[in-house]
Amino acid sequence: MKFHGWLVVGAVALTAGINLVDAVRRGPPPPRLPAVPATDPVVRHEARFAGVTAALRRHEVRGVVGYFCDLTPEVLAATPAAMEDYFLTQFALVPWVLDPRDRDRPWAIANLRQTGGGEPLPAGYRMTVNFGGGVLLLERTRP
């Protein structure tokens, strides 16, 4: 191969090398001491809802369940952080489908951040399981 060919090879290798070194600098290794709570929101949510799946199975809940948070459905839809919380909860609780709009489902999940579960329950529901941290499994008490 001629000289200018090797010049191109050198330019590509140098470019790739600099880019990789900078990628190493920007992406530090995972901390040897794991952060508590985890820094990744998905991992945090998996831990937060770890017990709910088993409880839903135990109560033979199927299909769509209600979803309550600190916000009304309308405010939830307009609040990106709360919507992310809802999406993460849905990811954790698949195959149950969470419905934040329907307040009449026989079963519902409460994901309360601000009140920690001390707030009055949604009307018409009783608490079946309190998982702590504002996560509750609710059952409808009136038809």
Kindly list the residues in this chain that would bind other proteins in the complex (CB under 8 A). Answer: 1, 4-9, 11-24, 26-33, 35, 39-40, 42-43, 46, 63-64, 87-88, 90-91, 94-95, 97-100
User: In the bound complex, what is the minimum distance in angstroms from residue 9's beta carbon to other proteins?
Assistant: 6
Structure tokens at 111: 């994901």
Minimum Å gap between C-beta 43 and other proteins is 6
Q: How far is the CB of 22 from other proteins (least distance, A)?
A: 4
The rounded distance, in Å, linking the Cα atoms of 37 and 21 is 30
Name the CA dihedral angle for 11, 13, 19, 25, rounded to a multiple of 10 degrees: -130
Cβ proximity of 113 and 68 under 8 Å: no
Counted residue by residue, the chain has a size of: 143
Q: Which is nearer to other proteins, 39 or 141 (CB)?
A: 39
Nearer to other proteins, 9 or 127 (CB): 9
Using CA atoms, how far apart are residues 12 and 10, in angstroms rounded to an integer? 5
CB of 31 to other proteins, least distance (A): 4
Q: Which is nearer to other proteins, 34 or 119 (CB)?
A: 34
Nearer to other proteins, 10 or 126 (CB): 10
* Nearest Cα residue to 93 out of 37, 135, 40, 36: 135
